[in-house]
Structure 1
């Protein structure tokens, strides 16, 4: 990259700090402003990150004219700042989920196409070396025909996490343990599994789901959505899968992703590769096992949502900037980021109706 990208952030909660620190590390990017409605929070953010603070996002876009807007508002409030940026020809990088319904995401995509801008998603787990290693193995057909592709997110959240917050509300969270916390695991699993399949780029690899959800550890008057969910899915090629998403499992355990087939198994426990076994052993396999044998130095957000490393956010932002600079395809396009929301929507529908749901 050679251009200096001027970036603004809409919504300056905790995750915005990770984006701001990431931008500070990138030579070809600078943070010009952030917006939020709370004066004290805004001024503190501006001071810490040496930028301007605006109470209103549209005014910020008008007065600073950034090249890129990073959207970090609550999940159900991603549409409005994205539309405001599109109207002004400003590219958008949006935190997960892209929005809380596919209908709202489709409005974002349509606005971007009309304006000729790029919308990208944030799924920083894809930029971790351990996930890239498994993805390369999937592309290389080392698993053979997949049998299963599973994700388990057995996390915990104290009542204080939800008390008086937008998290846990239907309007702004759009769901609970799946839409907020487990969406990273669902996205990573469908991405890894799809690398073994012959699909159109925009085709969702999951064909059908059947699911149950519930509130098991948090009172109904505290949250409106699920804190526990289990789902079984069938992929287009016949692969079977399981998803567990929870914020109800004290004290919270590390996320686990599993891909297994006739020819091999890979299993990731946060940053640790606990299984890397293939019928056809390669010289590099021992090195790979040794490289990813160390246990995670953080909880990965299992009980504390901010106990994560921001370096993968930085790589996610760098990939977006590189795609803009070279006019290349950004691998986490809006249509790609939409897939995990479509899966979760189908899970919620199945849990609500008690019937299997096919993804269109």
Structure 2
């Protein structure tokens, strides 16, 4: 029988609801015992919404010996300091993406947890969506054969009011734009499916549509060691917004992941067209992937294994983002 973990929440912003719903369904394995935000209004709203206890001091989460897991949902630039304190206190950390605001700070976070001997997981929940899991299994079975072409498109729209929140779209708060904030989930899915490319070339720009200093338009190409060539088309200026899409083509056929749906066509006549399991209430609430991710993280703690979205594995997407930014600046291909 698995142990029941005591969870502390750090940060009570827009990401918290799905985590709370997921943890409630995992009540036989975990319970939220304390939640902290530096903002009194958010603490009050959290208690009113979920009936869970909050604390006014971060120390009451980190220094509580009964809490063994801390779920960090605070802004990127705060992650290093919070994770460092958690790791020194011997607490395992499940960290909202991105790991940190820069590549160097992200790597430092991973190393902090490794040196402290605590587990670090990153909230890349799209790895746990049913269509992605099915495609990942097909890839392990080499269903597409040797891949020749990969394409990732995240063509979303973010209206002016989205950027009205103080700091939104600014490096000082978010660390990056469309890559770090929006497309990072789909980029991580691509890394999970085909791994980190050998070389990338990128063009990165900030459109004149909003007063931000981070990128909102990215065009990139990538070359993998085995000869696979891929493209990345990432933006938040594509009105009215379109489903994110990953397409992989190989010697045996083509697979497409598009907003929670997997479609597959093989030369032998096999056709697959599957979505999420609509009968699961967690799908209706859109937190099934969070539930699976948290369960996987708890299992890693209990068994001594590594979580599927570990800090080490999640560094791949950070290295990809960094290489695309460097390539845009240098005008040359760069190695992630």
Q: In structure 2, what is the equivalent of residue 162 of structure 1?
A: 163
Alignment of 1:189-200 (within 5 A): 189-194=190-195
Alignment counterpart, residue 243 of structure 2, candidates 228, 250, 254:
254
Alignment of 1:195-214 (within 5 A): 205-214=196-205
Alignment counterpart, residue 275 of structure 2, candidates 267, 276, 292:
292
1:28-61 per-residue CA deviation (whole Å, 9 max, x = no partner) reads: 1111121111101111112322322233323322
**1:11 and 2:11 aligned:** yes
Q: Cα–Cα, structure 1 residues 56 and 346, in superposed 2: closer, same or farther, change >3 Å?
A: farther
Q: What is the deviation of 1:342? A: 0.7
**Which structure 2 residue ranges, 5 or more long, are not aligned?**
none
Q: What is the deviation of 1:102? A: 2.3
For the Cα contact (< 8 Å) 1:58–1:84, is it kept in 2? no
Alignment counterpart, residue 255 of structure 2, candidates 266, 284, 292:
266
Q: In structure 2, what is the equivalent of residue 276 of structure 1?
A: 264
Q: In structure 2, what is the equivalent of residue 318 of structure 1?
A: 295
For the Cα contact (< 8 Å) 2:9–2:35, is it kept in 1? yes
Q: In structure 2, what is the equivalent of residue 244 of structure 1?
A: 233
For the Cα contact (< 8 Å) 2:145–2:251, is it kept in 1? yes
Cα distance in 1 for partners of 2:240, 2:132 equals 25
For the Cα contact (< 8 Å) 1:271–1:294, is it kept in 2? no
1:89-146 per-residue CA deviation (whole Å, 9 max, x = no partner) reads: 0000111111122211222222212221111111111111111111111111121111
1:224-259 per-residue CA deviation (whole Å, 9 max, x = no partner) reads: 101111111111211111111111111111111111
Cα distance in 1 for partners of 2:185, 2:33 equals 28
Q: What is the deviation of 1:64? A: 6.5
Cα distance in 2 for partners of 1:226, 1:48 equals 35
Instruction: Please state whether the residue corresponding to 2:150 is helix, strand or coil.
Output: strand
Cα distance in 1 for partners of 2:208, 2:255 equals 32
Cα distance in 2 for partners of 1:133, 1:217 equals 40
Q: Cα–Cα, structure 1 residues 266 and 49, in superposed 2: closer, same or farther, change >3 Å?
A: same
Q: In structure 2, what is the equivalent of residue 37 of structure 1?
A: 38
Cα distance in 2 for partners of 1:28, 1:47 equals 24
Instruction: Please state whether the residue corresponding to 2:190 is helix, strand or coil.
Output: helix
For the Cα contact (< 8 Å) 1:75–1:99, is it kept in 2? yes
Instruction: Please state whether the residue corresponding to 2:139 is helix, strand or coil.
Output: helix
Q: What is the deviation of 1:65? A: 4.0
For the Cα contact (< 8 Å) 2:130–2:275, is it kept in 1? no
**Which structure 1 residue ranges, 5 or more long, are not aligned?**
195-204, 301-306
1:56-100 per-residue CA deviation (whole Å, 9 max, x = no partner) reads: 323322247411011111122211111110010000011111112
Structure-1-length-normalised TM-score? 0.87
Structure-2-length-normalised TM-score? 0.93
Q: In structure 2, what is the equivalent of residue 354 of structure 1?
A: 331
Please report the RMSD computed on the Cα atoms of aligned residues, expressed in angstroms: 2.1
